[in-house]
Amino acid sequence: MLKLLSQRWEPLSQELKIIDKKLKSFTSSAASTLLEQYVVGSYVAATLMVAAGDNPERLRKESSFASLCGVTPLDASSGKQQRHRLNRGGARDANNTVWTVALIRMSNDYRTQKYVEKRSSEGKSNKEIQRCLKRYIARELYPIIYLIFQN
């Protein structure tokens, strides 16, 4: 059984390498400025471009792109507690991609780590910090994606 699985795995692995090369080629030609951003690789760029490309009329402003990615804050306050949560609408793939970028930046980017420390000292939970980071990432990537679709 293991031999049969390994025989199937090898061609699929080779096919995946070919697909990855094509994806890198497409994204580097269509979105080279997007790929220059920290932690934005070909998969992240392709996912965000597909989400935006499916709905180019929704790219009027940064907040609409954030909504498209599902990273807009919604009020979730109760009584005296004031807090927000993320909108669960939008393209789930784009939301997951922005979340992945946020997690990698939290663990590897010095500026993001300082931001996390600052927000933690203010009493924010890890989820609230991630929510804020996701919105900042959408705000940072929007002008680049907007220019891609205007050309």
pLDDT tens profile 65-108? 888 888 887 776 676 766 666 677 778 899 999 999 999 999 99
What is the value of pTM for the model shown?
0.81
- 68 contacts 55 by C-beta, under 8 angstroms: yes
- Number of other residues whose CB lies within 10 A of the CB of residue 102: 23
Mean pLDDT lowest among 53-62, 77-86, 140-149 = 77-86
